[in-house]
Amino acid sequence: MASADLQAVNAALDLVADPNLEQTLAELGVPRRASLEGERVSVELTLGYPAGRDDTLAKRVRDALLALDGVSEVDIDLGWNVDAHPAANSAMAVPGVKNIIAVASGKGGVGKSTTAANIALALAGEGARVGVLDADIYGPSQPQMLGVGQQRPNIVGEGKAQQMIPIEAHGLQTISMGYLVTEQTPMVWRGPMVSGALKQLLTQTRWDDVDYLIIDMPPGTGDIALTLSQSVPVTGAVVVTTPQDIALLDAQKGIEMFRKVNVPVLGVVENMAIHVCSECGHKEHIFGEGGGARIAESYQTPLLGALPLSLSIRKQADGGEPSVAANPDSAESLEYYAIARRLAARLWQANRQAEPVTVIET
């Protein structure tokens, strides 16, 4: 058997495709360290997004290297590091937060808040530090969805320097207007008051080294959406829709709004895509089929994933323990994890600086 060399090892690594972007490690400029000792290759890779639960890339790397003559053993150390890129929040307009992701919908009732909570939990499950800001001032739902209830955030500092400490829920740092009022208190506010409240929640919360701040937006394209998009360095947006035509029309308005304020749309999530009968297993597209894929294609943005119309998703969210927290290995939770990885990878791709591959040979 011929002996392998580092040139062959790096050439093989160059051609391995990242499973969430389907671009090669060379194209993505993934930093690496490769070493060779006899027939044993050791590789360290550093991605720009967390993928702690997924071993697809590691398998691809192992298969590519074992195919080389003279390689019989491969050790892989797959790490990641989330940066605050210039297009994201590196200026720290919101201190303690690296990247801000808005989860939005053109209309209510499409499962946006449930999707936001589960994406946040999935990102945390992959290894990231994640915050959730419930920006639906009129109808905050995250306190119940995350099982927080009537807790109140602690206040530190004095005067204008006062800050709220986020309430931890399932490993997430969270803040919501729902923590500051009772469930029976209606928010009878005009637009400027609502916009001011959102800014306070963002800037007067002491976020602690958050890689991704997920903002659960109110439905539609009104004051809060515009305030957030124009006054805060939002890294990107995710648009949640259901497959029926009326929901898709409203989702298009959401995408157009983000484009007008120069916020990149990182992808579309299709919710309630299919119903599977719990008794017989029959599958039915109750709200239509393929709507999310069509709108994603028309706007040249990826379909991040499609989620079923599932009783368990609804019950777990209503019970304060969303699917990813309640049953992380369920089919629904695994889809949320896949969506979170694709989203984080897309964010990295959109914001990374073009840098050559870093190869350290030892």
Percent share of the chain, pLDDT over 70: 85
With respect to residue 345, please indicate whether it lies within any of the assigned structural domains: no
Residue 4 vs residues 10, 12, 66, 81, 267: alpha-carbon distances, Å: 11, 11, 10, 30, 41
**Beta bridge partners of residue 75, listed in sequence order:** 42
Residues 274 and 186 both lie in one domain: yes
Instruction: Please indicate, yes or no, if residue 1 is contained in any of the structural domains.
Output: no
Tell me if 90 is assigned to some domain.
Answer: no
156 and 282 inside one domain: yes
Range of the domain at 135: 97-326
Q: What is the CA radius of gyration of the chain?
A: 22
Buried b (16+ CB within 10 A) or exposed e, 190-210: eeeebbebbeebbeebbbeeb
Between 84-93, 99-108, 144-153, 175-184, the lowest mean confidence (pLDDT) is in 84-93
Phi and psi, residue 262, nearest 5°: 60, 35
Whether pLDDT at 336 is above 80: yes
- CATH label of the domain that carries residue 68: 3.30.300.130
Confidence of residue 201 (pLDDT cuts 50, 70, 90): confident
Whether 336 maps to a domain, the answer reads no
Number of domains in the chain: 2
**Residue 164 near residue 206 (C-beta atoms within 8 A):** yes
Q: What is the dihedral of CA 236, 241, 245, 251, to 10 degrees?
A: -30
Residue 195: give its domain's CATH number. 3.40.50.300
pLDDT per residue over 306-328, tens digit each? 988 888 888 898 888 999 999 99
Judge whether 157 lies within some domain.
yes
Outline where DSSP puts E strands in the chain: 32-37, 40-47, 73-80, 97-104, 130-134, 155-156, 163-164, 167-169, 172-176, 210-216, 236-241, 265-270, 275-276, 283-284, 303-306, 359-361
Pull the structure tokens for residue 321: 């323990």
pTM: 0.89
Domain presence at residue 269 = yes
Range ranked top by mean pLDDT from 137-146, 278-287, 291-300, 345-354: 137-146
How many CB atoms are located within 10 Å of the residue 165 CB?
A: 15
User: DSSP E strands: which ranges in 81-229?
Assistant: 97-104, 130-134, 155-156, 163-164, 167-169, 172-176, 210-216
**Do residues 175 and 290 both lie within one domain?**
yes
Q: What is the mean pLDDT of the chain?
A: 84
pLDDT digits (tens, 9 = 90+) for 206-260: 999 999 999 998 877 666 777 776 667 788 899 998 887 777 787 888 888 888 8
Do the domain assignments include residue 64? yes
Same domain, 159 and 280: yes
Question: At 88, is the pLDDT very low, low, confident or very high (cuts 50, 70, 90)?
Answer: very low
